[in-house]
């Protein structure tokens, strides 16, 4: 029995067609995956269901009082009233309030009533949370769990997860999936948006694949299909190199391009987030820092790049002490930082693609340069004059990465560069990092993805609680086991 | 049941400009009609007066004020720096120009005198804007409040000068300086109250500011700074310097206008309230009517200048001053509606 | 999208170019109104068939105050000369807008333009150079040109009369004045008021001090009220006169009276304000600009005033002309309430000895006698219309050789500004402009000798206070 169906949805942003005549239905009690590469229209689709965008043509039907009726949402509030709740990549919570107050605010109930509901939700879906904790004091992972509890407490008919699990560590992901299955088993519907094939395979009953705004195919669990079929639907052709392969090893040259000594950095709440005795990035090599999310990675990157003040210690760039330099000065001296979140600190959304490139072009910007930056990581749509906010998260990340090379960096700090990217793009990014190292750049790759780290890095450090607990060369035997062990022991 | 909803939309800049232009014209039409219906004033009389004012070059006297100030403010507003201090920056420009013209030997030299006075005026305006700029850049002090307060400080400073040390010998105790030397005056076009040179300078800034904001790296960074300061910082461009630059440019343009008011209009320093005359605040509207686009700024400045002038000369017979104000208010309200229309659309679904 | 931006830029530039061309066109080809067809000379000058007069006001017309008074004058002459006079007005014209408004009026064909604020003086003067065929008259300024005359109706005599009443009524001996600016005009009024109060006070054995607060604005009801409150609360003042364009001080005194019963005497300024404070307004000053406007326009119509002979036209009208009047209310039948009936019995019950006649009279009669003395000066008005004849205004009389009438009176038989007077300079050195203070340090003593009457220039340039005036500062 269908709960909601989209009929012939089309949405354009200026000259960009984000969705092209997409029709799709979700059954009651079903987890429907929506899979697609970066910029395929997944986010636009959810935003239309959630009332953020209004389609140019097409309509939505929703089961109301047992009948399918046309529904029209002009705001998320209206979608909520029809029982649709969305969890996105970023928690939508008031930091200054407690978990309980946040949920009470969302439900519109008293604290007492909310507490009962929250407690029953947590026991039913097997989630453990301190409801009285201040949201501001929680980690990202915990905040996403709060989002989940908040959404489930609402008792929605349809739950939309827009890449909501992308940033979560594996074990939390599993708890998320479990909760979703429980939710589906009691008749709830889920739309699960992702660009990671394994994620989709793990949790979804059916998988709808989008490519360049069109619905390509719907895979059902009952069907027999291979991963390659999925890949083919996603990327149009199965690229032979998509399978995890080892990028060729580069020899580390001599010379420390970036060195942090006794570096101490505080987090937003004044707590010690990073405390590092020594971290060295060598010219022409990729040094990876790997760890479970929330172990000070962001603060480390910001401390090194200058966005965050170092309270102790020093940062030396190519022999020059830059501890007191601002981020802009470090950038112009060749220390480039590509943050994990292109929306907030990476790309300027109000500017066009070309203008975002111009920010990194110190001299005259030729159209050839623009073309090169766009084609380097195949940014889509490849139109330099469209505003950046029309790009999907993955494409923004690609833009953020490929333009950084224009500054001729001596050292690049790259934080979770591939997390938002599909497989093909991820591979390009990895190649780009290797290639930069070959050209003599020192690359510091800060990542949560062990596979990625093992793929790319020459040297790997494990970070836990803001400290480097182990550093190993890439040639180390039993590398993966050592890293996993270190990550879990100290976390 | 049909549903009505208001939805954001992005019109291409040209279309947006056309929509606004159309709405601006329609607004005047509707305002004329309302006035004639509500107050029984002959519609033709009003139309004649309004169209006449729009077609006459008299309003250039105000265009020379609103255009450069609007351009300068657009620079700051693009970076989401709320410089509300154009009024004070105009006044400080006026003070500097008056100083050069009255108390330095340059004031007696043709061409050089006015140029030096205008340069000093720009500098004074820029420096006046710099103080809130520096407070914002280094101490993160809210610039909207500081710039607003600096307006009144500028008034007081100017008033101290004209009431005190600079009070003229031949003004019978009125708070004014003596007249500036003839060599410093910018002469009026016959039959009008503006100088062609001031107009040329004002218009010359349109392409300059446009190219700066849209074709240079720093200008682009300025436009991005408001929404993503960290992203701009990471591109190697110092946010602190951007803030200071934005305030400097907008202050310099306002200061220039203030200097021009002295050389072209007042010919002496008078109390601050009479120099700024609220025009620094009206300029904020000019900047936003053009959607902060320098290329559209001449249109917006033309429109506001004509209405500004219209308010004063419209009063004929039944068209009393309050009616004129009502009319202008109505036009601006309709213009707001047009801005809304160009940014949102109303959707009706069954 | 860049294309569209470029289109926008293009539009901008086109507008710019069009404006530029229009401006250049305007520079090279002077508009027809300004083209001097034939230079107006005495022989060829033909007075205008129809006089089109425009009045420019700095404030709103409203119901009170300066601009209102001029508007009353305009309406009076419009009714009087309806056969050949057409008038219009523009209100709320600021200093920065005055020139443009004049441009507009000239284009609309107005041939006589009255600008009524000191703020309009410089723009009017410059525009007079541009439009040599248009006649300009400016109120309250000092700049004149062949086609620009000046006019003013001065209130100092009325303030003196108000001062007499204040001196009679005050119980504390401390009286107050709220001044807009301490420019010579207002300084003159303060001094006249203080001289009146002191004269009456001395006769009654009171020690009079006048406290002055300057508010720095012609119209600012809030500041005026606060200044009045300060005078009453801090300086124990119980009689206030003021120069400010609203009824705010009157209302303040009235509310003080109704709420606490405290009696503070007030003198209404410029407009009839009795109705705002029937329990506190004693008297006041009234102005009738129509007296001057009627004279000017009649002379324009008859060709006496031409665009080439206004250089010395300078009206300085006092009580004797009827352009100013003592009073605070106009009754429905058009007569003036000179003194509030509430206070008439009080004033009539106070007896003083007139030093001029030695007779004992009531304070009320004393005031009225002085009023009559200043009213009656038949020769004076002929002197008050041009700048060249102002010098004779202070002559008390001229001698003839005739036996029957050896002396012909010129100025009124009484004027408040007659020595002996002692004062102190407000300004000094080069900043001062009077003969008493220029070149001397600030606070230098000013002495007007016994029997010496101040001349027109002395009154115009007054930059000193009489001794018993205390300046308390500017708010």
Q: What whole-number distance in Å separates Cα of residue C281 and Cα of residue C279?
A: 6
Give me the residue label for tokens 């219009």. Answer: C88
A386 and C1 in contact by Cβ < 8 A? yes
* Fold assignment, A2-235: Rossmann fold (3.40.50)
CB B324 within 8 A of CB B315: yes
- Considering only the beta carbons, identify the residue of A54, A59, A347 that sits closest to B231: A347
Residues 355-384 of A with CB under 8 A from C: none
Residue B184 lies in a domain: yes
CB-based contact, C2 to chain A, within 8 Å: yes
CB-based contact, C21 to chain B, within 8 Å: no
CB-based contact, C7 to chain B, within 8 Å: yes
C230 and C370 together in one domain: yes
A328 and B234 in contact by Cβ < 8 A? yes
How long, in residues, is chain C?
475
Q: What is the CATH number of the domain that holds B240?
A: 1.10.3470
Residue B255 lies in a domain: yes
Span C96-109, average pLDDT = 92
CB A176 within 8 A of CB A141: no
Distance, in angstroms, between A241 CA and closest chain B CA?
A: 33
What rounded mean pLDDT belongs to chain C? Answer: 90
Q: Nearest Cα to A466, choosing from A300, A269, A278, A311?
A: A300
CB B73 within 8 A of CB B283: yes
Round to the nearest angstrom and report the end-to-end CA distance of chain A: 45
Nearest chain B residue (CA) to A362: B217
Q: Nearest Cα to B308, choosing from B333, B339, B277, B287?
A: B277
Nearest chain A residue (CA) to B218: A359
Residues of C in contact with B214 (CB under 8 A): 5
CB-based contact, C1 to chain A, within 8 Å: yes
A72 and B5 in contact by Cβ < 8 A? yes
| Residue A4 bridge partners (DSSP) | A26, A62
Count structural domains, chain B.
1
How many Cα atoms are found within 13 Å in the side-chain-facing hemisphere of C422? 3
B223 and A74 in contact by Cβ < 8 A? no
CB C88 within 8 A of CB C114: no
C272 and C297 together in one domain: no
Per-range mean pLDDT, top range of C57-66, C81-90, C400-409: C81-90
Domain(s) of CATH 3.40.50.300: residues in chain A: 2-235, 256-490
Per-range mean pLDDT, top range of A237-241, A346-350, C87-91, C162-166: C162-166
Q: What is the pLDDT of residue A380?
A: 82
Cβ-Cβ contacts under 8 Å for A415 (sequence gap 6 or more): A297, A298, A301, A337, A338, A339, A340, A446, A447
Nearest chain A residue (CA) to C1: A385
SS3 for chain B, per residue? CCEEEEEECCCCHHHHHHHHHHHHHHHHHHHHHHHHHHHCCCHHHHHHHHHHHHHCHHHHHHHHHHHHHHHHHHHHHHCCCCCCCHHHHHHHHHHHHHHHHHHCHHHHCCCHHHHHHHHHHHHHHHHHHHHHHHHHHHHCCCHHHHHHHHHHHHHHHHHHHHHCCCCCCCCCCCCCCCCCCHHHCCCCCCCCCCCHHHHHHHHHHHHHHHHHHHHCHHHHHHHHHCCCHHHHHHCCCCHHHHHHHHHHHHHHHHHHHHHHHHHHHHCCCCCHHHHHCCHHHHHHHHHHHCCCCHHHHHHHHHHHHHHHHHHHHCCECCECHHHHHHHHHHHHHHHHHHHHHHHEEEEEEC
Tell me whether residue B138 is exposed, middle or buried, using C-beta atoms within 10 angstroms of its C-beta: 0 to 12, 13 to 18, 19 or more.
exposed
A-interface mutation test, from B215, B217, B221, B236, most A Cβ less than 10 A away: B236
CB-based contact, B347 to chain A, within 8 Å: yes
pLDDT per residue as tens digits for the range C269-301:
999 999 999 999 999 999 999 999 999 999 999
C211 and C226 together in one domain: yes
Chains sharing 3 or more CB pairs under 8 A with chain C = A, B
How many Cα atoms are found within 13 Å in the side-chain-facing hemisphere of C416? 30
Distance, in angstroms, between B230 CA and closest chain C CA?
A: 26
- Considering only the beta carbons, identify the residue of B179, B193, B206 that sits closest to C12: B206
Q: Nearest Cα to C99, choosing from B195, B176, B89?
A: B195
Residues 218-247 of C with CB under 8 A from B: none
CB-based contact, A385 to chain C, within 8 Å: yes
Tell me the Ramachandran region of residue A440: left when phi exceeds 0, alpha when psi lies from -120 to 50, beta otherwise: left
Distance, in angstroms, between C152 CA and closest chain B CA?
A: 15
Q: Which 3 state secondary structure label does DSSP give C289?
A: coil
- Considering only the beta carbons, identify the residue of B7, B221, B236 that sits closest to A54: B7
Span C415-433, average pLDDT = 90
CB-based contact, C60 to chain B, within 8 Å: yes
Q: What whole-number distance in Å separates Cα of residue B205 and Cα of residue B161?
A: 31
- Considering only the beta carbons, identify the residue of B172, B193, B277 that sits closest to C94: B277
A386 and C2 in contact by Cβ < 8 A? no
Q: What is the pLDDT of residue A240?
A: 46
Whether the bond between B343 and the residue before it is cis, its omega within 30 degrees of 0, is no
C253 and C364 together in one domain: yes
Structural domain range at position B253: 59-305
CB-based contact, B20 to chain C, within 8 Å: no
Q: Nearest Cα to C152, choosing from C282, C350, C314, C13?
A: C314
CB pairs under 8 A between A and B: 96
How long, in residues, is chain B?
350
Tell me whether residue A272 is exposed, middle or buried, using C-beta atoms within 10 angstroms of its C-beta: 0 to 12, 13 to 18, 19 or more.
middle
C253 and C216 together in one domain: yes
Nearest chain C residue (CA) to A355: C2
CB-based contact, A247 to chain C, within 8 Å: no
Q: What whole-number distance in Å separates Cα of residue C146 and Cα of residue C305?
A: 10
Q: What whole-number distance in Å separates Cα of residue A379 and Cα of residue A401?
A: 11
Chains sharing 3 or more CB pairs under 8 A with chain A = B, C
C33 and B191 in contact by Cβ < 8 A? yes
**Would you write out chain A's pLDDT as a tens digit for each of its 491 residues?**
788 999 999 988 777 788 999 999 999 999 999 988 877 888 888 888 988 888 888 999 988 888 888 888 888 888 888 899 999 877 888 888 899 999 999 988 898 999 999 999 998 888 888 889 888 788 778 888 999 999 999 999 999 998 888 777 778 888 889 999 999 999 899 999 988 888 888 889 999 999 888 898 888 887 777 778 888 888 776 554 433 344 444 444 457 899 999 999 998 878 888 999 999 998 888 999 998 777 888 899 999 999 999 999 999 998 899 999 999 999 999 999 999 888 878 899 889 999 999 999 887 888 888 998 888 888 888 888 888 888 888 888 899 999 988 888 999 999 988 877 888 888 888 989 988 888 889 999 998 888 888 888 889 999 988 899 889 888 888 888 888 888 776 65
Residue C125 lies in a domain: yes
- Considering only the beta carbons, identify the residue of B163, B199, B214 that sits closest to C20: B199
Residue C315 is classified by DSSP as E
* Fold assignment, A256-490: Rossmann fold (3.40.50)
Q: What whole-number distance in Å separates Cα of residue A150 and Cα of residue A396?
A: 29
C226 and C125 together in one domain: no
Q: What whole-number distance in Å separates Cα of residue C232 and Cα of residue C213?
A: 12
Q: What whole-number distance in Å separates Cα of residue C280 and Cα of residue B2?
A: 67
Tell me how far the alpha carbon of residue A244 is from its chain's centroid: 20
Give me the residue label for tokens 């380097």. Answer: A376
Q: What is the pLDDT of residue A244?
A: 39
- Considering only the beta carbons, identify the residue of C8, C16, C92 that sits closest to B13: C8
Q: Nearest Cα to C447, choosing from C428, C429, C467?
A: C467
Residue C391 is classified by DSSP as G
Q: What is the pLDDT of residue C345?
A: 96
Tokens of C144: 């004149």
- Considering only the beta carbons, identify the residue of C4, C20, C431 that sits closest to B12: C4
Q: What is the pLDDT of residue B317?
A: 67
Quick one: how many helices (H) and strands (E) in chain A? 16, 20
CB-based contact, C402 to chain A, within 8 Å: no
Q: What is the pLDDT of residue A248?
A: 47
CB pairs under 8 A between B and C: 171
Distance, in angstroms, between C3 CA and closest chain A CA?
A: 10
Residue C294 lies in a domain: yes
For strands A2-13 and A16-27, give the pairing: antiparallel
Q: What is the CATH number of the domain that holds C73?
A: 3.40.50.2300
Q: Which 3 state secondary structure label does DSSP give C323?
A: coil
B220 and A347 in contact by Cβ < 8 A? no
How many Cα atoms are found within 13 Å in the side-chain-facing hemisphere of B140? 1
C213 and C343 together in one domain: yes
C-interface mutation test, from A352, A385, A387, A390, most C Cβ less than 10 A away: A385
Q: What is the pLDDT of residue B284?
A: 93
Q: What is the pLDDT of residue C131?
A: 95
Distance, in angstroms, between B1 CA and closest chain C CA?
A: 39
Handedness of CA A249, A250, A252, A257 (dihedral sign): negative
Residues of B in contact with C123 (CB under 8 A): 193, 265
Residue C269 lies in a domain: yes
Q: Predicted ipTM?
A: 0.83
Q: What whole-number distance in Å separates Cα of residue A181 and Cα of residue C392?
A: 110
C83 and C119 together in one domain: yes
Residues of B in contact with A326 (CB under 8 A): 233, 238, 240
Residue C136 is classified by DSSP as E
Span B7-16, average pLDDT = 72
| Residue A413 bridge partners (DSSP) | A337, A444
Helix (H) or strand (E) holding C226: helix C221-235
Distance, in angstroms, between A430 CA and closest chain B CA?
A: 22
For B37-70, b where at least 16 C-beta lie within 10 A, e where not — what string?
A: eeeebeeebbeebbebbbebbbbbbbbbbbbbbb
Residues of A in contact with C2 (CB under 8 A): 385
Q: What whole-number distance in Å separates Cα of residue A178 and Cα of residue A160?
A: 15
Structural domain range at position C112: 46-153+290-318
C207 and C222 together in one domain: yes
Distance, in angstroms, between C95 CA and closest chain B CA?
A: 6
Span B340-348, average pLDDT = 72
Q: What is the pLDDT of residue A250?
A: 46
Distance, in angstroms, between B193 CA and closest chain C CA?
A: 6
pLDDT per residue as tens digits for the range B196-253:
999 999 999 999 999 999 999 999 999 999 888 999 999 999 999 999 999 999 999 9
CB-based contact, C42 to chain A, within 8 Å: no
Distance, in angstroms, between C4 CA and closest chain A CA?
A: 11
One DSSP character per residue, C253-285 reads HHHHHHHH----EEEE-SS--GGG-TTTEEEEE
Cβ-Cβ contacts under 8 Å for A37 (sequence gap 6 or more): A195, A211, A234, A235, A394, A422, A424, A425
Long-range contacts of A482-485 (CB under 8 A, 24+ apart): A483/A290, A483/A450, A483/A453, A483/A454, A484/A450
One DSSP character per residue, C409-424 reads E-S-S--SSBSSEEEE
Question: Which runs of consecutive H residues, i.e. helices, occur in A316-405?
Answer: 327-332, 353-358, 367-376, 393-404
C94 and C139 together in one domain: yes
Tokens of B296: 């559209």
CB-based contact, B235 to chain A, within 8 Å: yes
How many CB atoms are closer than 10 A to CB C473? 8
B-interface mutation test, from A74, A326, A346, A348, most B Cβ less than 10 A away: A348
Q: What is the pLDDT of residue C360?
A: 92
Distance, in angstroms, between A272 CA and closest chain B CA?
A: 22
| Residue B182 bridge partners (DSSP) | none
Q: What is the pLDDT of residue B349?
A: 62
A74 and B237 in contact by Cβ < 8 A? no
């Amino acid at each position: 029995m269908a709960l909601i169906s989209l009929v012939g949805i089309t949405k354009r942003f200026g000259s960009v067609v984000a969705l092209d005549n997409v029709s799709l239905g979700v059954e009651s009690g079903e987890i429907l995956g929506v899979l697609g590469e970066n910029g395929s229209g997944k986010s636009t689709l959810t935003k239309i269901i959630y009332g953020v965008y209004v389609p140019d043509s097409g309509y939505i039907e929703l089961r109301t009082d047992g009948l399918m009726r046309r529904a029209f949402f002009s705001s998320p509030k209206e979608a909520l009233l029809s029982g649709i709740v969305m969890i996105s990549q970023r928690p939508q919570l008031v930091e200054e309030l407690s978990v309980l107050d946040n949920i009470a605010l969302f439900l519109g109930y008293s604290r007492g009533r909310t507490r009962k509901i929250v407690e029953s939700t947590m026991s039913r879906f097997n989630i453990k949370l301190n409801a009285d904790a201040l949201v501001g004091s929680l980690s990202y992972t915990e905040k996403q769990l709060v989002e989940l509890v908040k959404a489930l407490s609402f008792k929605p008919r349809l739950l939309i997860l827009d890449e909501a699990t992308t940033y979560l560590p594996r074990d939390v992901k599993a708890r998320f999936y479990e909760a979703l299955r429980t939710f589906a088993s009691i008749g709830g519907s889920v739309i699960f948006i992702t660009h990671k094939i394994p994620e989709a395979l793990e949790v979804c009953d059916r998988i709808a694949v989008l490519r360049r705004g069109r619905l390509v195919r719907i895979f059902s669990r009952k069907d027999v299909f291979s991963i390659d079929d999925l890949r083919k639907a996603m990327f149009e052709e199965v690229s032979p190199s998509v399978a995890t392969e080892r990028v060729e090893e580069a020899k580390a040259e001599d010379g420390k391009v970036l060195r942090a000594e006794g570096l101490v950095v505080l987090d937003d709440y004044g707590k010690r987030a990073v405390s590092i005795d020594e971290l060295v990035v060598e010219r022409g090599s990729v040094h990876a820092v790997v760890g479970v999310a929330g172990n000070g990675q962001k603060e480390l990157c910001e401390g090194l790049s200058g966005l965050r003040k170092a309270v102790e210690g020093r940062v030396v760039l190519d022999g020059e002490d830059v501890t007191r330099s601002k981020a802009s000065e470090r950038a112009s001296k060749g220390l480039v930082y590509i943050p994990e979140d292109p929306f907030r600190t990476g790309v300027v959304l109000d500017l066009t693609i070309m203008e975002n490139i111009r920010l990194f072009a110190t001299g005259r910007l030729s159209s050839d340069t623009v073309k090169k930056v766009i084609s380097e990581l195949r940014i889509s749509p490849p139109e330099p004059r469209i505003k950046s906010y029309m790009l999907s998260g993955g494409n923004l990340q690609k833009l953020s990465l490929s333009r950084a090379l224009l500054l001729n960096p001596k050292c690049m700090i790259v934080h979770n560069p591939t997390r938002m990217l599909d497989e093909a793009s991820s591979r390009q990014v990895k190649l780009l990092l290797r290639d930069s190292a070959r050209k003599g750049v020192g690359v510091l790759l800060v990542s949560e993805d062990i596979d990625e780290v093992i793929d790319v890095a020459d040297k790997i450090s494990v970070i836990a609680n803001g400290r480097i607990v182990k550093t190993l060369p890439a040639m180390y035997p039993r590398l993966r086991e050592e890293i996993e062990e270190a990550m879990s022991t100290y976390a | 049941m049909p549903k009505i909803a208001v939805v954001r939309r992005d019109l291409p800049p040209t279309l947006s400009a056309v929509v606004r232009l159309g709405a601006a014209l329609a607004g005047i039409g509707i305002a004329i009609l309302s006035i004639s219906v509500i107050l029984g004033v002959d519609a033709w009389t009003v139309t004649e007066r309004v169209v006449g004012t729009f077609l006459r070059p008299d309003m250039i006297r105000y265009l020379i004020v609103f255009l450069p100030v609007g351009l300068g403010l657009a620079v700051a507003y693009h970076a989401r720096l709320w410089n509300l201090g154009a009024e004070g920056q105009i006044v400080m420009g006026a003070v500097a120009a008056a100083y050069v013209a009255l108390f330095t030997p340059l004031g007696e030299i043709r061409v050089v005198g006015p140029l030096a006075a205008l340069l000093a005026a720009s500098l004074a305006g820029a420096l006046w804007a710099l103080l809130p700029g520096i407070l914002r850049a280094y101490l993160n002090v809210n610039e909207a409040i500081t710039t607003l307060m600096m307006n009144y400080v500028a008034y007081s400073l100017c008033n101290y000068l004209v009431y005190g040390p600079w009070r003229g010998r031949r003004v019978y105790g009125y708070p004014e300086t003596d007249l500036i030397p003839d060599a410093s005056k910018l002469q009026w076009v016959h039959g009008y109250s503006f100088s062609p040179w001031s107009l040329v300078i004002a218009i010359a800034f349109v392409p300059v500011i446009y190219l700066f904001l849209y074709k240079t790296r720093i200008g682009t960074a300025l436009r991005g700074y408001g929404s993503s300061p960290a992203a701009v910082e990471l591109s190697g461009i110092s946010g602190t310097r951007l803030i200071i630059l934005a305030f400097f440019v907008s202050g310099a343009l306002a200061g220039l206008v203030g200097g021009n008011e002295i050389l072209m209009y007042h010919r002496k320093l008078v109390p601050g309230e009479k120099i700024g005359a609220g025009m620094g605040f009206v300029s904020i509207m000019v900047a936003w009517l053009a959607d902060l686009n320098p290329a559209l700024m001449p249109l917006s400045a033309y429109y506001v200048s004509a209405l500004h002038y219209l308010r004063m000369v419209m009063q004929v017979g039944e068209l009393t001053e309050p009616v004129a104000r009502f009319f202008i208010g109505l036009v601006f309200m309709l213009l707001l509606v047009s801005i809304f229309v160009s940014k949102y659309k109303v959707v009706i679904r069954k | 999208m860049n294309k569209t931006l470029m289109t926008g830029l293009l539009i901008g530039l086109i507008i710019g170019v069009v404006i530029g061309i229009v401006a250049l066109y305007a520079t090279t080809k002077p508009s027809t109104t300004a083209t001097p067809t034939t230079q107006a000379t005495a022989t060829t000058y033909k007075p205008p068939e129809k006089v089109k007069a425009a009045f420019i006001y700095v404030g709103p017309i409203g119901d009170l105050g300066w601009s209102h008074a001029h508007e009353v004058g305009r309406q009076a002459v419009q009714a009087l000369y309806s056969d050949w006079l057409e008038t219009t007005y523009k209100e709320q014209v600021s200093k920065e807008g005055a020139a443009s408004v004049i441009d507009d009026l000239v284009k609309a064909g107005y041939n006589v333009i009255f600008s009524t604020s000191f703020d309009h003086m410089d723009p009017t003067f410059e525009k007079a150079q541009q439009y040599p065929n248009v006649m300009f008259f400016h109120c309250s300024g000092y700049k004149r040109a062949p086609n620009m005359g000046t006019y003013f109706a001065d209130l100092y005599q009325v303030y003196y009369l108000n001062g007499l009443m204040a001196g009679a009524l005050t119980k504390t001996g401390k009286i107050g004045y709220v001044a807009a600016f301490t420019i010579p005009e207002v300084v003159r009024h303060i001094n006249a008021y203080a001289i009146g109060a002191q004269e009456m006070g001395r006769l009654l054995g009171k020690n009079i001090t006048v406290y002055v607060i300057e508010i720095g604005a012609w119209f600012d009801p809030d500041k005026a009220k606060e200044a009045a409150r300060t005078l009453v609360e801090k300086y124990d003042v119980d009689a206030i006169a003021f120069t400010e364009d609203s009824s705010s001080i009157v209302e303040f005194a009235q509310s003080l009276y109704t709420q606490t019963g405290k009696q503070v005497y007030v003198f209404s300024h410029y407009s009839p304000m009795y109705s705002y404070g029937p329990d506190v307004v004693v008297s006041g000053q009234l102005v009738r600009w129509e007296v001057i406007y009627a004279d000017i326009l009649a002379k324009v119509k008859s060709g006496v005033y031409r665009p080439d002979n206004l250089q010395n036209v300078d009206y300085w009208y006092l009580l004797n002309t009827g352009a100013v009047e003592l009073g605070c209310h106009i009754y429905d039948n058009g007569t003036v309430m000179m003194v509030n009936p509430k206070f008439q019995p009080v004033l009539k019950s106070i007896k003083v000895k007139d030093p001029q006649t030695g007779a004992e009279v009531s304070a009320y009669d004393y005031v009225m006698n002085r009023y009559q003395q200043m009213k009656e000066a038949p020769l004076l008005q002929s002197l008050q219309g041009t700048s060249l004849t102002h010098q004779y205004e202070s002559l008390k009389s001229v001698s003839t050789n005739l036996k029957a009438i050896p002396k012909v009176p010129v100025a009124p038989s009484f004027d408040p500004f007659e020595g002996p007077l002692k004062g102190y300079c407000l300004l000094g050195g080069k900043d001062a402009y009077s003969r008493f203070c220029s070149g001397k340090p600030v606070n230098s003593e000013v002495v007007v000798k016994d029997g010496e009457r101040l001349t027109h220039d002395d009154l115009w340039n007054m930059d000193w206070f009489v001794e018993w005036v205390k300046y308390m500062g500017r708010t």
